[in-house]
């Protein structure tokens, strides 16, 4: 499980599968 606030864009975000957005946080999982 990975997550970050919606006001940042970490470099790793494009290598993960986006799953859900809850309030100000975006959650990801490993690509499968």
1-32: per-residue pLDDT in tens?
Answer: 999 999 999 999 999 999 999 999 999 998 76
Q: What is the pLDDT of residue 13?
A: 93
Structural domains in the chain (count): 1
Q: Which residues contact 6 (CB under 8 A, 6 or more apart)?
A: 21, 24, 25, 26
Q: What is the pLDDT of residue 22?
A: 98
Q: What is the pLDDT of residue 8?
A: 97
Q: What is the pLDDT of residue 30?
A: 86
Q: What is the pLDDT of residue 32?
A: 62
The answer to whether 18 and 28 are in contact (CB under 8 A) is yes
Model pTM? Answer: 0.80
Please tell me the distance from the alpha carbon of residue 24 to that of residue 32, in angstroms, as a whole number.
Answer: 25
Q: What is the pLDDT of residue 2?
A: 95
Task: Report residue 13: phi and psi, to 5°.
Answer: -60, -35
Domain coverage including residue 1: 1-31
């Amino acid at each position: 499980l990975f997550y970050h606030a919606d006001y940042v864009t970490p470099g790793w975000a494009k290598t993960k599968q986006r799953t859900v957005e809850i309030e100000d946080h975006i959650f990801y999982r490993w690509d499968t």
